[in-house]
Amino acid sequence: MVAGSALVASIFVMMPSLALINASEPSRRIMALGSNAYYPDTENEQVTMNAVRPGDMKPNSFVWFLDPYGKTMGELYDGSSASLTLDRKELERFEQRDAFEYYLLIRLPAWLGGEKDDTSSFRAYHAISLSDNCLFRYWSTEGRWRMENPCAGDIYRAWDGLAVAGPASVGMVGGTISTGYHPALQMFRLSVDSEGYLVAHKPDNSLQGDGVQAEGRRLSPQDVDESNKEMVQAAGEYAGYSLPFPSTIQTDYRLTDLNPSIGPWWMETQSEPPMQATYTYSNRQYAAITIDVYPVQNHPDLKLGGPLVSRSDSGYLVNGTVVGALLHLAYPRPQGMPEPQIREGTNIAGDFAILVAPSELGGDSYTGAGAIVWGKSPDGKEDIVVVLNTSDVRMDELASMVESLGVRKSG
């Protein structure tokens, strides 16, 4: 049977570009391929496909599957079973599959809500890059947690398939550069059937909806902002408090990535890693701002008055590990540039903040800037330390950035 006749037992819509799923819409089971899915040894190996229940995959993992509505699956699978092993004749048909039929089923990392055994933990994307039609995969290894195109270097985030680096991120789709929207991968809307298996609903083939193969989806700036807010909310639910990560900073800097981080090299601690948000500037492909947030209960050495944070006679927070290293963000300075500005106090953001910014901007050299803020999370639930790193901004701009994070005062 085709799963469209089954009960839709679970529907979760996580991104603004998606319409609600109607239970009467056509839907078919996702049949996961084995680990050697793209180049199976059909002479010596069996090719087996299996239906997937939410509990079958661990968070931060993926499987390949062929388009349930494509030619190959239309000829090989009638939807009546949860497992399919190809015979010799079927293998011959399988060997004629088109690369454009490949999709990825991803179970999100735990910090993005991937620990839930329902469809909200899953994404299903076309596995063909938008800029050059290259097949790619999801990388679950530490520090990656994303889809990477090995040909042109495109990077897509797992949360919503948005292109965040490479030619596709600046509008290169199908060899043509376009502006006014943000490219993202074509996707399937997901639900589960009456037997608990994941099913893919037939795409609407709309660039503003589910997307089109090789052309993807076209997200408006408002779509991306809404998706960013939902991503931050999911990470905050996992953390247990709201994170100080706005969707945009000063309109020019947009949130592009969110994951655990080792934190700044000079602020390493022995506790669990902080959450880090990365922002890029106006479609440029390099990180313009990174923000790390440390819950004080997990990093007590970072609290105000703690062993790494103490006041000197001059009034500045200075030590060899935390704030002392923050001062080095402004070095090396272009020759002839004056000493950086330092601003600190209780009237900037949170309970206390210290900011370091270049006194002058100019020349071609990188001039670092940054800030540390102590206070409460935006929802007031957690004592946090927030570290912001950026470059080539004036003190007034840096102060505005820090204020926009929503770090609250205690009490």
- Closest by Cα among 56, 47, 59, 61 to 29: 56
| pTM assigned to the model | 0.86
Q: How confident is the model at residue 67 (pLDDT cuts 50, 70, 90)?
A: very high
109 close to 59: Cβ distance less than 8 angstroms:
yes
Residue 101: pLDDT above 90? yes
Three-state DSSP class for 17?
A: coil
Q: Closest by alpha carbon to 183, among 204, 208, 203?
A: 208
CA 179, 180, 186, 189: dihedral to nearest 10 degrees? 180
Whether omega for the bond prior to residue 332 falls within 30 degrees of 0, making it cis, is yes
pLDDT tens digits, 304-353 = 765 555 544 444 444 444 454 455 444 445 566 667 788 888 899 999 89
Does the structure show a pLDDT above 60 at 138?
Answer: yes
Buried residues in 253-279 as b, exposed as e (16+ CB within 10 A): bbbbbbbbbebbeebebeeebbbbbbb
Question: What sign for the dihedral angle of Cα 30, 34, 36, 42?
Answer: negative
Residue 179 binned pLDDT confidence (cut-offs 50, 70, 90): confident
Strands (E), 251-351: 253-260, 275-281, 287-295, 341-345
